[in-house]
Amino acid sequence: MPSVVSFHYTLRDPAGQALDTSAGGEAVTYLEGAGQVIDGLDEQLRGVAAGAKLRVQVPATKAYGEHDPAQVQRVPRARLPIEGELKVGDQFQTGSDRLAPVVTVAGIEGDEVLLDGNHPLAGVDLTFDVEIVAVREATSEELRHGHAHGAGGCGHG
């Protein structure tokens, strides 16, 4: 039976630099196997007891995937939905839908912009310092819905 796991984490890149953390905020809570956290982290946290502290190494293939050169494209600057100055490293959503892909400006060459549609951490091996806060058996409702519920449920049937 899948579990619902709550944990705090600090995410580090291969150089050991902290990229993100849940410290000082709410713990991350997810349903095992539901795709709510990256595969490599989900796999390595299975069966770990509440209170455990561990370091988890996740290779790029089980995190955000390898960098895909096909996701990098040249686009005329005039076609971009961005006003004002544009610089390398800028990120923006490609449409007004909240699920529209996010792209990163990888280069600017004259009137053309090189856009990278890969996740910013694609191709990067990741290290998570994790503290398991709680582990419980998933409810039948959570299994049907495919995600963990808080104290008040999720608001849909």
156 has a pLDDT exceeding 80: no
Higher-scoring residue by pLDDT: 138, 89: 89
Domain with CATH 3.10.50.40 in the chain: 3-64+122-145
| Residue 154: predicted pLDDT | 59
Contact (Cβ atoms closer than 8 angstroms) between residue 20 and residue 50: no
34 closest CA partner among 154, 109, 142: 142
- The answer to whether the predicted template modeling score (pTM) of the entire model surpasses 0.85 is no
pLDDT for res 155: 57
Boundaries of CATH 2.40.10.330 in the chain? 69-116
Q: pLDDT tens digits, residue range 86-133?
A: 999 999 888 788 888 889 999 999 999 999 999 999 999 999 999 999
What does residue 52 show for φ and ψ, rounded to 5 degrees? -70, 145
Q: What is the pLDDT of residues 40-65, one digit of tens each?
A: 999 999 999 999 999 999 999 999 99
Q: How many CA atoms lie within 13 A of 129 on its CB side?
A: 12
Pairing of strands 91-93, 102-109: antiparallel
Top-level CATH class of 69-116?
A: mainly beta
Contact indicator for 59, 106 with CB cutoff of 8 Å: no
CATH architecture for segment(s) 3-64+122-145: Roll (3.10)
